[in-house]
Chains A and B, each alone.
Chain A
Amino acid sequence: MSSRAAWRLESLGFTSVFFYHPGKLDWVSAGLPVEGSAAGIPNLGTVARRDVVTCRLNEQLSAVKARMASDPTGPCPVVNDQRIVLGLLRSDAIKANGAKTAEEAMISGPVTFRPNVALEEIDRYLTDHKIGHAVVTTSEGELIGLASAEDVHRLHAESMASTAPK
């Protein structure tokens, strides 16, 4: 659509025309500011913790476990040099398979979510699918962070309470 619009502008006499093909989703996914009536409303990106422990495909789980000491209940995203999410190590897999590599123990291609997902939507999804954490990425798959189902539920409840009629 942005490409067609750019061509249309050119047909109207504009000579320096560009189109940002990745679009609004890419911008929002990167956590950049927006304007409009929905700006500032808490969403999944608000809840996601950025300081999560990650690991590489060839890392031994014993080494991952040692680094996860500060957050033993969380999963560990498996990423490449570009922080693209390749897999996810569940906490029980990290504890049980010390000699294996992350690649051998990970869930490949885990479900990921964009940060602009509404709290109501993600709260319902995580509850319905009994998922403990949402992996939050840009539209290109770059890791932004993790959001626990507990944090999502708590912030959703708080935002509902703050907007309820008094």
Chain B
Amino acid sequence: MPTTIDRSRLREMLAAGAQLVEVLPRREYDEEHLPGAVSIPLRELNRATTSQLDKSRPVITYCYDYQ
């Protein structure tokens, strides 16, 4: 079951090698994204687009705010 995390936990997990996915539209990603994040917009999340991710490591998604 997916778990929500805060900024502090996010930083710890990134330092430990977690993968970060921004799910906003590509234009917003291009303007500004968290360091190391990859862009997979929510509408494009599927088996093909997520094949770049490593299933053996934690994955963290984020968007703009609590929406």
Contact residues of A with B, CB < 8 Å? 1-10, 12-28, 30, 32-39, 116, 139
A1-B42, A3-B4, A6-B2 known; A19 vs B32 contact (CB < 8 Å): no
Given contacts A3-B2, A36-B30, contact A20 B59 (CB under 8 A): no
- Whether A24 lies near B63 (C-beta < 8 A) is yes
Whole-angstrom distance from the CB of B7 to the nearest CB of chain A?
Answer: 6
A18 touches B35 (CB 8 A): no
A23 and B66 in contact, given A14-B50, A36-B30, A38-B32 (Cβ under 8 angstroms): yes
Check B64 against A24 for contact (C-beta < 8 Å).
yes
* Band of interface residues on B: 35 or more
**Residues of B in contact with A (beta carbons under 8 Å apart):** 1-7, 10, 13, 18, 21-24, 29-37, 42, 45-47, 50, 53, 55, 57-67
28 sampled A-B residue pairs with Cβ under 8 A: A1-B42, A1-B64, A3-B61, A5-B21, A6-B2, A6-B59, A8-B45, A9-B2, A14-B53, A17-B60, A18-B4, A18-B5, A19-B61, A20-B6, A20-B60, A21-B5, A21-B66, A24-B22, A24-B24, A24-B62, A24-B64, A24-B65, A25-B65, A33-B35, A34-B32, A35-B36, A36-B30, A36-B31
- Across-interface contacts of B4 in A (CB, < 8 A): 3, 18-21
Q: How far is the CA of A20 from the CA of B37 in the complex (A)?
A: 12
Contact of B34 (CB < 8 Å), options: A14, A16, A34: A34
**A-B CB contacts (within 8 Å), total count:** 137
Nearest neighbor of B36 in chain A, beta-carbon distance = A35
Measured CB to CB, the nearest residue on chain B to A16 is: B58
Q: Give the distance in Å from the alpha carbon of A44 to the alpha carbon of B1 in the complex.
A: 38
**Which residues from chain B contact A30 at a C-beta distance below 8 Å?**
7
A residues near B36, Cβ cutoff 8 Å: 35
Q: Which of B10, B24, B62 has the most CB of A within 10 A?
A: B62
Task: Please name the residue on chain A nearest to B28 by beta carbon.
Answer: A24
- On whether the beta carbons of B64 and A17 are closer than 8 Å, the reply is no
Contacts A3-B4, A15-B55; A9 near B65 (Cβ below 8 A): no
